[in-house]
Structure 1
Amino acid sequence: MDESNAIKLSIIVPCYKVEAYLPKCLDSLVNQTLSDIEVICINDGSPDRCIDILREYEANYPGKVIVIDKQNEGVWKGRWDGIAIARGEYIGFLDSDDYAAPTFAESLYSAAKSNDADIAICGFDRIDLETGKVLSREMASERPSFVIDDDPGRLVELNGAPWNKCFRASVLKHMRNLTNPPTVLDDLAFHLLVYCDMHGKVVYVPGSYVRYMVRAGSIINSVKKSQVDSIRAAFIEIRRQYETARPELLPMLDAVAFLHLGVSLVFRLSSTPGENVGKDISEITGYLDAEFPTWRRSPYINAAYAFPRGGALLKLLVVQKVYKLHLMQAFLAIYSFMIEKIHVDIKW
């Protein structure tokens, strides 16, 4: 193959009920400074005008915009459908109600390619959809790269969204799947499956290149109790895969489980009206102790590891102490007050 004509980066865009936002998202992608890209759009049985918009862009940008029109099966299946046909050396993602800076693709691909990295990560802005106000800028500062096999604990600090990253395509095309993927925390589950088959370098691109749009009322996202069982089952399945394929990464996995199930999931449950938060904390603690047992003594949640690295690892150390002192319910109440009343959010 002539590498000068090869696709460098495939960007997968799942689409469902986003006709109001889709043109801005697509405009940001077809006008990227990196020309050798393809934009794979999955119309997941959307009942609005998404497919009409996608077909128009496909006609105007032949070979660059590729449309998969399918029945509604959810973002998990759509993501796999996009990966299957992707021709890029690397694969990235963007949500269809967000948009990217013009150098989004070039910055991620160049960083990944020049460092022979498995993952490249950029910063992003959270923007209020109604006012256009920047609520926060995250992961945009300079950070040292690392090799997964050398320091897997650094994976704990990665955000669980795929839309500010590009991944080596050869890994994604052979990654493991789940029998029953969760409907909540599916992005995180996807990342954990990716990590299970990666050994190489993770690099960061300083600066913000994604505009993540926050809709009114979405700062606190509640989760239904009926969804918790599917989350628990999916994460147990993920751990079984690690036990077989990458047992050396189990301490990292258990730390991630504590962060996202013991902290984030419990917080989202606490925002559900009428929920018994104390009972939820007790149940999640029992689940973590049974299925992710090293979370209490994780080598990545201790002062010696967290203090030199700071950031999310240091925050996780603090909240683990809160958990062990049985003060989590009070902590969640204070956290909710900070977000709802004084609009200060601690990003984990």
Structure 2
Amino acid sequence: MHQGKEPSSEKKLVSVIVPCYKVEQYLPRCLDSLVAQTLENIEIICINDGSPDRCIDILRAYEEKNPSKMVVIDKQNEGVWRGRQDAIAIARGEYIGFVDSDDYVAPTFCESLYKAAKSNNSDLTVCGFYRVDVESGEILTEEMTEHRESFSVKEHPELLLQLNGAPWNKLFKASLLKSMYDFENPPKIFDDMMMHLLVYPDVAHVSFVPEALVYYLIRSDSIMTTIDESKIASTYEAMKKVREHYQDRRVSTKLMSFLDSAAFLHLGISLMFRISCDKNANMKDALRQNKLFLDKNFPRWNTSKDISFSNAVRYGGPFRNMYFGKLIYKMHLMPIALTCYRFMINKLGIDIKW
């Protein structure tokens, strides 16, 4: 790993981390949106993760024009997890955010999240986002812009289930990420979600900005349609490490119950959907293995009150989706449901909002 210049020791309000790999077509728009942020005293840390295209040339050009804001890490390809860890290690911001290099953000992205974090003394602050079709530029959905009350994780850890698993619409208190548990063998997929799970034991307070500040591009070439056995195995192994970490930390029973519910949400629903996109996948076998894994390692998934009818009625939105997803899973109707869901997305252009 090497950088074009050594960053100064000057403290920043916000560090924005941007992993870059094969995105030369989209990178300038992303960087333009970050350089134009209304919040002063931020830094933009870009990781060129051994990208074979012109990413590094684009990054160096922006670094030369914006030396006070841009920091470029040029390294061999090791994947997003390692790249983010390298950037977190040198980040000087009080808070850290993430932006995917093929997405872009509103000019007030940093300012709105930072002000909300400071005014609410939040460890984690979340904003809304748009899903945008990359070819037409059409906004497909606007998500997480409904008013949501700030909450204490100690009192209501189940409310963490309403957060999407991506880091690009959030601001984290930097100290949480700098002290976060690091995988010896990072998962090959679902690493975003697991980063959140590893941070949550240290999150005391979560707040929201009910504005869409991120433009998340839907690209046909970025959708993974096949998942080989090694990726599935690495996901399961990493999730077991997450559970071991929770046990080592001796987290509360309520937070452990949340983890079991989150395991069902991400492995029982999201992972099964990803596997179902592979036409050659044996869904019956995948679901059998999935349930065995959940029953053995996350036994509360089936009995936890976090995903329940009462919470579906009380909170609506994602809790309603999770409740019906759990019913479908327990009734062995997932193959049919996943087929219908893929038809909705691919043929009707309809996705379930979070």
Q: Is TM (by shorter chain) over 0.5? A: yes
Residues 141 and 353 in structure 2, CA contact (< 8 A), matched pair in contact too = no
Q: Report 1:174-213 matches (<5 A).
A: 174-198=179-203, 200-213=204-217
Residues 108 and 165 in structure 1, CA contact (< 8 A), matched pair in contact too = yes
Q: 1:318 aligns with which of 316, 320, 324?
A: 324
Q: After TM superposition, where is structure 1 displaced by more than 2 Å over at least 4 residues in a row?
A: 216-226
Q: 2:245 aligns with which of 241, 245, 250?
A: 241
Deviation at 1:194, TM superposition (A): 0.9
1:280 aligns with 286
1:342 aligns with 348
Matched, 1:296 2:302: yes
Q: Structure 1 counterpart of 2:229, which letter? A: K
Matched, 1:140 2:145: yes
- Does the C-alpha gap of structure 1 residues 217 and 20 become closer, same or farther in structure 2, counting only changes over 3 Å? closer
Q: 1:332 aligns with which of 304, 324, 338?
A: 338
1:265 aligns with 271
Matched, 1:119 2:124: yes
1:159 aligns with 164
Q: TM-score, normalised by structure 2?
A: 0.94
Q: Distance in 1 between matches of 2:95 and 2:150?
A: 18
Q: Distance in 2 between matches of 1:81 and 1:246?
A: 28
Q: Distance in 2 between matches of 1:163 and 1:22?
A: 15
Residues 126 and 135 in structure 1, CA contact (< 8 A), matched pair in contact too = yes
Deviation at 1:226, TM superposition (A): 2.8
Residues 129 and 213 in structure 2, CA contact (< 8 A), matched pair in contact too = yes
Q: TM-score, normalised by structure 1?
A: 0.95
Greater shift, 172-181 or 291-300, is seen at 172-181
Deviation at 1:26, TM superposition (A): 0.5
Q: Distance in 1 between matches of 2:294 and 2:325?
A: 15
Q: Distance in 2 between matches of 1:180 and 1:197?
A: 22
Runs (5+) with no aligned partner, structure 2:
1-9
Deviation at 1:82, TM superposition (A): 0.6
1:24 aligns with 29
Runs (5+) with no aligned partner, structure 1:
none
Q: Distance in 1 between matches of 2:129 and 2:309?
A: 28
Q: Report 1:103-114 matches (<5 A).
A: 103-114=108-119
Q: Structure 2 counterpart of 1:210, which letter? A: V
Residues 98 and 213 in structure 1, CA contact (< 8 A), matched pair in contact too = yes
Q: Structure 2 counterpart of 1:296, which letter? A: N
Indicate the SS of the match to 1:163: coil
Q: Distance in 1 between matches of 2:297 and 2:81?
A: 24
Indicate the SS of the match to 2:142: strand
Deviation at 1:345, TM superposition (A): 1.4
% identical equivalent positions: 52
Matched, 1:93 2:98: yes
- Does the C-alpha gap of structure 1 residues 73 and 184 become closer, same or farther in structure 2, counting only changes over 3 Å? same
Q: Distance in 2 between matches of 1:180 and 1:236?
A: 12
Q: Distance in 1 between matches of 2:18 and 2:317?
A: 30
Cα root mean square deviation, aligned: 1.4
Deviation at 1:341, TM superposition (A): 2.0
Greater shift, 98-107 or 312-321, is seen at 312-321
2:6 aligns with none
Q: Distance in 2 between matches of 1:263 and 1:120?
A: 25
Indicate the SS of the match to 1:247: coil
- Does the C-alpha gap of structure 1 residues 219 and 344 become closer, same or farther in structure 2, counting only changes over 3 Å? farther
Deviation at 1:246, TM superposition (A): 4.0
Deviation at 1:315, TM superposition (A): 1.1
Deviation at 1:221, TM superposition (A): 4.2
Q: Distance in 1 between matches of 2:311 and 2:210?
A: 23
Length, aligned pairs only:
343
Deviation at 1:219, TM superposition (A): 5.9
